[in-house]
Each structure stands twice: as C-alpha cells, then as structure tokens.
Structure 1
Amino acid sequence: MNGNAAQGSATGTPLMIVRSEGAAVFAAATALYFLLGGPWWLYAVLLFAPDLSFLGYAAGSRTGAVVYNLAHTFVVPLALGLIAVVLKIELLQHLALIHLAHIGLDRALGYGLKYASGFKDTHLGRLKGGKHEG
C-alpha cells in the first residue's frame, strides 16, 4: 500500500465507529425503505448493484477508484433522495434508500472508499481476502 493510503486508513476505535455508523445507516435505510412501502423484490435485485462499479477497474486503478468511489459515497444517494422527496418521486426515494443501505452495509463490513493504488487499499484499511490486514 502506498504511504498516502496507509496514513489515511482508519484503525482502532475510529474504525469501529465508522463500521457502527455503517450498520446504523444500513438498518435505518432498510427500515425506511420498507416503511415507505418499497417492494422487497426491488430491494433484493438492487442492493448489490453499486458493486458493479468495480468494472471501472478495467480502465485502470485510478479510473476504477474514481468510478467505485462515486458509487460508494453517501453524497450521491443523499442528493438523489433529496431530489426525490422535493419532487415527490416515490421510485427515486426507494432507489436512494437502497443505495444508502448498500453503502451502509459495505461500511459495516469494513469495505471502504478506494485509493488509486489498488482495489484493496481503502480508507478503512487494506483488504486481504475480503478481510482487513491487521
């Protein structure tokens, strides 16, 4: 991992807090989705759709990290959700909540935003076989 990635990786209590926040976002977004009457099948089909952004890595690590991070930042679904609420577009509200749930689940499991140095280098630490190196 490059020096920048190592310096920017959460460890100890901050990592535990970020993962707990992720679990809370996942639970809240999922609960709100179903409270708003979102269909279970749409949730099941789209929950992991943001992970298709890993295909950006076919264009290289730098491009892959940008594409992946755009699909895994809270900014995108929050903006989408705000637009959906203002415009009263129910389907868009559902999509935003599914997207938020996905990101929350990822953070709870320890999958973070990517550094350009490689797919396994994240702001939550380096992944090794689906787990963090420790």
Structure 2
Amino acid sequence: MTMQPKGRLRDSLSPILRLEGALLGAVCIWLFAGTGFSWWLFGVLLLSPDVTMLGYAAGPRFGAIVYNAGHSWIGPVLLAAVGHVAGSPLVLALAFIWGAHVGIDRALGYGLKYATGFGHTHLGLIGPAAKA
C-alpha cells in the first residue's frame, strides 16, 4: 500500500513543486534554444514521453512504473550527462526536450503516479479521480 500525504500538507507543497517544474522546464527550453537544433524537432518530440502512458494497458502498478520512468528528472539528467561526456549536441538537445516535457507536466499538475491509479499523483488528484 502506498502512503501519500493527505490534505493540507500535500496541498501546501503542490504550488512549490509546480513552480519548480515550470522553472526547470523553462531552463530546459532555454538550453535547447542554445543547441541550434530546429524548433520543429522540439515540437515533434515534446510529447513523446507520453508514450509511457501505454504501460497502463498492463495495469495500474506497471503503468505507474513505466510512466514514472519517463516522467522523472532522472532520465533527462542522465541523458544530458551522456550528451555532455560524449560531446553530442543531438543527445543534449534530446535531453533538454525531455526535461522540458517533465517540467511542463509538473507545472500543469501532472505529477508522478502512485500505483493506485493514473489520477493519483504526488501533486494531488487529477482527472476523474479529482472529481470523486
């Protein structure tokens, strides 16, 4: 069973986490702009991490694991490190796009998922779960 903070504690952290996401997303967009790659690449790939939602076809627990793997900061940071060490501007650009997606999602209130269902996030309830 996954425990999550209730009521005021979670609600008091959500605006901070959303602002943090917005700022990190903005930094990733700014860093992408410095790579010189086309904004078409950015636009085409920006929503690609949402493919991880398909994991929910195998159930909420597996779906949460797959979704969270594609929506945590771990992936973009590691990819940026690889791009930096390898001296690959393309890999860096991909990391910044991925990071922008994560930041924008956080800013909009789409947090990491609990195994209890897609609508149960570390930022609060979303979608139909919020209306229940």
Between the aligned partners of 1:100 and 1:108, the Cα distance in structure 2 is: 12
Secondary structure of residue in 2 paired with 1:120:
strand
Structure 1 moving runs of 4+ over 6 Å: none
The normalised TM-score by structure 2 is: 0.91
Taking only the aligned residue pairs, the percentage that are identical comes to 44
Aligned residues of 2:77 and 2:95 also touching (Cα < 8 A) = yes
In structure 1, distance between residues paired with 2:46 and 2:2: 33
Name stretches of at least 5 consecutive residues in structure 2 with no aligned partner. Answer: none
Over the aligned positions, Cα root-mean-square deviation in angstroms equals: 2.0
Matched with 2:42 is 43
User: Structure 1: where are the runs of 5+ without partners?
Assistant: none
Alignment of 1:81-120 (within 5 A): 81-120=80-119
Distance in 1 of aligned mates of 2:29 and 2:93: 10
1:39 deviation in Å?
1.1
Residue 20 of structure 2 corresponds to residue 18 of structure 1: no
Distance in 2, matches of 1:15 and 1:22, equals 10
* Count of residues paired in the alignment: 130
CA–CA separation in structure 1 for the residues paired with 2:48 and 2:128: 21
Normalising by structure 1, what TM-score? 0.89
Could you report, residue by residue, the CA deviation over 1:44-103 in whole angstroms, capped at 9, with x for unpaired residues? 000011011000000110000000000001011100100100110111100000000000
Classify 1:71/1:3 alpha carbon distance in 2 versus 1 (closer, same or farther; 3 Å).
closer
Q: How far, CA to CA, are the matches of 1:84 and 1:104 in structure 2?
A: 19
* Superposition deviation, residue 24 in structure 1: 0.4
